[in-house]
Structure 1
Amino acid sequence: MAEISKDCRVPIKMSWDDLEALCRTEGFQCKELGITKANVNEYEVEFLCDYKKTKEEEFYLVKWRGFPESVNSWEPKWHLKCPKLMKQFHVDLDHELRRQKRRAIPKRLDKEISSLLVQKAKHRKRLKTWEAQLNLTCNHPGGIFVINDVDLEGPPKNFTYINFYKAAPGIDFIETAVGCKCKNCLEEPVNGCCPGASLHRVAYNEQGQVRIKPGEPIYECNSQCLCGTDCLNRVVQKGIQFDLAIFKTDNGRGWGVRTLQHIRKNTFVMEYVGEIITTDEAEKRGHIYDREGATYLFDLDYVEDVYTVDAAHQGNVSHFVNHSCNPNLQVYNVFIDNLDERLPRIALFSTRGIRVGEELTFDYKMQIDPIDTESSKMDSSFTLAGVSTSPKKRIRVECRCGSDTCRKYLF
């Protein structure tokens, strides 16, 4: 929601689109919307609603940005300078004609087709607005794109994008008070670097790829360390580095995530972020999510099963990552500024090279053989949706990952 500026002198709350429409139709100026005296009457094509053709010309029914649909107007093709919108209009039109098994474009579209094209245009606009909000909220270099060419489902309701864990009331993070004094953290772990102080070796090589086995913890340098932001032992804390697309799957798996850039093997991709709750609270929420067919609870059982990450309503891109029985992402426990072993950060690293356009997945019931229980303190499994080594009842969910090694059921 937005509020008209003092220049408009209309103290009423409304959406940005309705606000812009009001300003332009009433001739108001608004600094927040960039509407000035010079451009208040300028017309810009928002989307195309309809099409008709005569012997002489082609016409499009235009929805003008910032103006109500009541002022939509038919414009000749030569008068419009919006090639991308025209191309998208005809892509949608061709798709609908093929669905109806019609070959030629009619001289005048029927009401059903034109109505559907308007719905698609408005749907695409909602997704673009959501995409812009996500990129304004996220604090990582990698961009987020939103794509839905399958249906008219829009942004998820009751979901807030967050960049870090959000602790529920009564749960506190213990911030570290010490840091290393190394000059080269990859070469000096035995002299007091963060991994060495925790009796572990540095997890990364010089290219930033993880070089330890799944099950071993990662200790990164923290805010108290003397090394700079270019330290090679700072990887997860730098956030998502790749452009990712949240897309609607076409096989009933809901939303998914694909990479728009090549990802090398053993590379950090993203964190699993959400609200930190107790396992008792997770048990209560789990029964609700089961009835909804959702799987967003991730038990933090690095040393003991005390806390759970709930990404159902607060999370980041990982909220949309689907399960696979043959995944390309692997889970690691990471400690940076918080050294409470009950509250590790959950990082997802690539298990192999991932090509551009490939969907990102991880196993919701990922089994990891303990490396050394004395040194790693690793439980026998990572679990999502509240499933762990403890006997918790869960509704059996059918798996649709499609891999050759599919277990047929998620849980």
Structure 2
Amino acid sequence: MDHNLGQDPAPAAGSFDKSRVLNVKPLRTLVPVFPSPSNPSSSATPQGGAPFVCVSPSGPFPSGVAPFYPFFVSPESQRLSEQNAQTPTAQRAAPISAAVPINSFRTPTGATNGDVGSSRRKSRGQLPEDDNFVDLSEVDGEGGTGDGKRRKPQKRIREKRCSSDVDPDAVANEILKTINPGVFEILNQPDGSRDAVAYTLMIYEVMRRKLGQIDEKAKGSHSGAKRPDLKAGTLMNTKGIRANSRKRIGVVPGVEVGDIFFFRFELCLVGLHAPSMAGIDYLGTKVSQEEEPLAVSIVSSGGYEDNVEDGDVLIYSGQGGTSREKGASDQKLERGNLALERSLHRGNDVRVIRGMRDEAHPTGKVYVYDGLYKIQNSWVEKAKSGFNVFKYKLVRLPGQPQAYMIWKSILQWTDKSASRVGVILPDLTSGAEKLPVCLVNDVDNEKGPAYFTYSPTLKNLNRLAPVESSEGCTCNGGCQPGSHKCGCTQKNGGYLPYSAAGLLADLKSVVYECGPSCHCPPSCRNRVSQGGLKLRLEVFRTKGKGWGLRSWDPIRAGTFICEYAGEVIDNARVEELSGENEDDYIFDSTRIYQQLEVFSSDVEAPKIPSPLYITARNEGNVARFMNHSCTPNVLWRPVVRENKNEADLHVAFYAIRHIPPMMELTYDYGIVLPLKVGQKKKKCLCGSVKCRGYFC
């Protein structure tokens, strides 16, 4: 059957009677999850069998019963659940649980930032060389087996992951001690906010990367730690560190259209999509005397035969109907499928999250929140397997910001099927960088920035002797995590500062990279900031702030973006340029910076080995175009490259949080305290709700 997007693809009336497709059972028909001890004397049960006990995964739990993964709940959640159980039914409009819903009764053995339950197939037991990616072909979920059973190969991998002696709970507690107390007050609010969502994701990222770093060191593996995403997510759930614990229909407070996520657990922690694996999330609502499910969100990540060509229309396939053991079968009108059918008739909004291919890590996915949709139609058709599947036509509500369509536009620019509007220069760097940086103006008639010479490197004509002698490392094949012989690793506190994915793993004040004195090759993972640009950037004309910088690529938190290139100058030269009002392109490491408001220790400039002043007015790279923001998405860190002959200090920029494509990259310029006589404050135009009004 061939359906065109934008048209009603439903079959003709009478061609298929959905009511006769399946043997539909009510959602209350559940197999006992927590059987009580056997009672042979009971006449109501077979001898040796357990009497029927059915407990919600979110509790409350009778004596001797404990929740299993991923249904761990905090004591507060348990208390709220018990209160809800004691509330008269008439006063409860919809039984809402903070735990993962019924359609996710599955052990998440493979939830990563890859497509959970995708149809990809790799060699069984072989793990990729990234600390967050793993074979997902054995996992149930959207596009998975549909029978909720784990497979032996996946189980063997899981046992291998648990071999470390790392105590995740102790690591998490140490991280939580560094968090500002005010952050917890925001997170404890029943409804989320933009701050609550941002703080939750930032804490998750710090915890995930730290757990991976420690686990990797303990195992001494160059291939990276296994599943810190699940460890961090579980710990945050059990400790109640999350936003929007109440499930809801429609808009999720603090989550904006276009937000991106690299892990399914992130969707859960911010209240966008609760199941860590299933593609359909729903809740139960009371209608007359019966309870019926309504869909609240779906994840379309390519596991099924979804049609996603139209940016405002999604043809979504139902769940189930495939099993490796039992083979393919007709999908059933139950659980998530039934919830979508009920939402069609009730007309409630459904959140849509689209899974996009992560170009930087082909085995992974980037999840994009594409806003609210309504289900317009549903039907049944034959899949390629020959069995019946449910299809749902969802139409995007008008008036929402673009999200998925931005990604489609970038794909068209990349494959040259469409041209980028407003391009002034296709490559501002004139070949100085490995990747071109286009210069774009689609705002006004300005033809470009003032003339400067593009240089990707830092020039220091008067280098000083190193503060301490350094012979560098002798790691001929590249630095290994946990190596006691690597001097560079020891300078970083015994850990490699970057994960196997090249992400900044720690928030230390100074990053020690390998340098000219080291024997390791250029491909060593401790040389992340030395490889030039790895993101497709563009310099663009902003509305009211001059020129700015943004990326065509989605950027993961902790990703290296660029260094600040230019000429190193002394303090006297800084004073001279400031007096001439020509200090717009000066980086001053001595300013006061509030880089991460979540963590109490990050309220001043990193403890840099020696003051560093860089001017990029006449010569510099893309960093000179990054504008100031009082709520930045980028921070800087001093990077020392090991060199026994001279001090080799650089400034590198890293993403604070996940940054969607085409979002402006900004960092905090900092302020000079105390203000000098005659020093003028510069008006801040960042537009942030936390704008302090000026910088200087």
TM-score bracket, normalised by the shorter chain, equals 0.5 to 0.7
Q: Give me the whole-angstrom Cα distance separating, in 2, the residues matched to 1:392 and 1:208.
A: 44
Tell whether 2:629 aligns with 1:344. no
Q: Deviations over 1:64-104 (max 9, x none)?
A: xxxxxxxxxxxxxxxxxxxxxxxxxxxxxxxxxxxxxxxxx
Which secondary structure does the structure 2 equivalent of 1:345 belong to?
Answer: strand
Identity of aligned residues (%): 31
State the match for 1:204 in structure 2.
Answer: 498
1:194 pairs, out of 464, 468, 488, with: 488
In structure 2, distance between residues paired with 1:262 and 1:391: 41
User: 1:343: how far off?
Assistant: 5.7
Give the CA deviation at 1:319: 0.7
Distance 1:340 1:402 in 2: 45
Out of 223, 228, 234, the position equivalent to 2:527 is 234
Whole-Å separation in 1 of the counterparts to 2:499 and 2:609: 30
Trace 1:182-331 onto structure 2 (pairs within 5 A).
182=475, 183=477, 185-197=479-491, 201-213=495-507, 215-250=508-543, 252-289=544-581, 295-301=584-590, 302-303=607-608, 306-331=611-636
Cα distance, 1:325 vs. partner? 0.6
CA shift for structure 1 position 394: 2.8
Q: Give me the whole-angstrom Cα distance separating, in 1, the residues matched to 2:587 and 2:621.
A: 14
Q: Provide the secondary structure at the position in 1 that maps to 2:639.
A: strand
Residues 389 and 396 from structure 1, CA distance in 2 versus in 1: closer, same or farther, beyond 3 angstroms? closer
- 1:74-223 matched pairs, under 5 angstroms: 127-128=424-425, 131-132=426-427, 134-138=429-433, 141-168=434-461, 171-172=462-463, 178-182=471-475, 183=477, 185-197=479-491, 201-213=495-507, 215-223=508-516
Partner Cα separation in structure 1 for residue 572 and residue 585 of structure 2: 15
The DSSP-based 3-state class of the residue aligned with 2:694 is coil
Kindly state the Cα deviation for residue 361 of structure 1 after the two structures are TM-superposed.
0.4
Opposite residue 679 of structure 2, the aligned amino acid is: R
Residue 154 of structure 1: how far off its partner (Å): 2.0
| 2:686 is aligned with 1:401 | yes
Deviates more, 1:318-327 or 1:174-183: 174-183
CA distance in structure 2 between the partners assigned to 1:281 and 1:392 by the alignment: 18
CA distance in 1, matches of 2:648, 2:473: 21
Query: 2:529, 2:652 within 8 Å by CA — same for their partners in 1?
Result: yes
8 A contact 1:244–1:260 mirrored in 2? yes
Q: Which amino acid aligns with 1:166?
A: K
- Following TM superposition, by how much is the alpha carbon of 1:262 offset from its aligned partner in structure 2, in angstroms? 0.6
State the one-letter code of the partner of 1:345.
Answer: H
Give the AA of the match of 2:662.
G
User: CA offset at residue 340 of structure 1?
Assistant: 8.7
Alpha carbons 1:173, 1:340 under 8 Å: kept: no
Tell me by how many angstroms 1:157 deviates: 2.8
What is the CA–CA distance in structure 2 between the aligned matches of 1:244 and 1:392, rounded to whole Å? Answer: 39
TM, length-normalised to structure 2 = 0.34
Cα displacement string for residues 14-55 of structure 1 (whole angstroms, at most 9, x for unaligned residues): xxxxxxxxxxxxxxxxxxxxxxxxxxxxxxxxxxxxxxxxxx
Judged with a 3 Å threshold, the aligned counterparts in structure 2 of structure 1 residues 135 and 188 are, in CA distance, closer, same or farther, namely farther
**SS of aligned partner of 1:190:** coil
> Shift of residue 321 of structure 1?
0.6
| Structure 1 unaligned regions, length at least 5 | 1-123, 366-382
Query: How far did residue 167 of structure 1 move?
Result: 2.6
Taking the aligned partners of 1:286 and 1:309, their CA distance within structure 2 comes to 13
- Tell me: CA distance 1:303–1:249, structure 2 relative to 1, closer, same or farther (3 Å): closer
Q: Aligned to 2:429, what secondary structure does the other structure show?
A: helix
CA RMSD of aligned residues (A): 2.9
> CA 1:341/1:249 → structure 2, altered by over 3 Å: closer, same or farther?
farther
Aligned 8 A contact 2:557 2:656 in 1: yes
Q: 1:398 to 1:343 in 2, by over 3 A?
A: farther
Aligned equivalents of 1:395 and 1:340: distance in 2?
40
Counterparts of 1:155 and 1:350 in 2: how far apart (Å)? Answer: 26
Give the Å deviation of 1:357.
Answer: 0.8
Structure 2: how far apart are the matches of 1:207 and 1:361? 23
User: Match of 1:163, SS?
Assistant: coil
Please give the alpha-carbon distance, in whole angstroms, between the structure 1 residues aligned to 2:504 and 2:568.
26
Deviations 1:92-149 (A, max 9, x none): xxxxxxxxxxxxxxxxxxxxxxxxxxxxxxxx68x32xx44524233xx332011111
Counterpart CA distance in 2 for 1:216 and 1:137 is 30
Residue 363 of structure 1 corresponds to which residue in structure 2? Answer: 668
> Which deviations, in whole Å up to 9, do the C-alpha atoms of 1:143-177 show, x marking residues without a partner?
20111112222232331111111235xx1265887
CA distance in 2, matches of 1:270, 1:409: 25
How far did residue 388 of structure 1 move? 5.8
Q: Decide whether the 8 Å contact of 2:472 with 2:643 is kept in 1.
A: no
Aligned CA distance change for structure 1 residues 390 and 180 (closer, same or farther; 3 Å): farther
Q: In 2 relative to 1, CA 216–339 (structure 1 residues): closer, same or farther, beyond 3 Å?
A: farther
**Conserved 8 A contact 1:300-1:344:** no
Tell me, yes or no, if the aligned pair for 2:479 and 2:486 is still in contact at 8 Å.
Answer: no
Q: What are the superposed Cα offsets for residues 345-400 of structure 1, whole Å, 9 maximum, x if unpaired?
A: 100000011111111000111xxxxxxxxxxxxxxxxx6xxx36685753111111
User: What code does the residue aligned with 1:149 have?
Assistant: D
AA at the equivalent of 2:694: Y
Equivalence for 1:80: none
Separation (CA, whole Å) in 1 of partners of 2:642 and 2:495: 18
Deviation at 1:341, TM superposition (A): 9.3
Question: How many angstroms does 1:303 deviate by?
Answer: 4.7
Matched-pair contact (CA < 8 Å) for 2:636–2:652: yes
Q: Distance in 2 between matches of 1:392 and 1:232?
A: 46
Alignment: residue pair count: 257
Unaligned stretches of 5+ in structure 2?
1-421, 591-606
CA deviations over 1:302-350 (Å, ceiling 9, x no partner) = 5576541111221100111111111110111101155799762100000
- Report how far residue 231 of structure 1 moved: 1.6
Q: Quick one: distance in 1 between partners of 2:619 and 2:634?
A: 21
- 1:317–1:363 Cα change, 3 Å: same
- Rounded to whole Å, the distance in 2 between the matches of 1:278 and 1:357 is 35
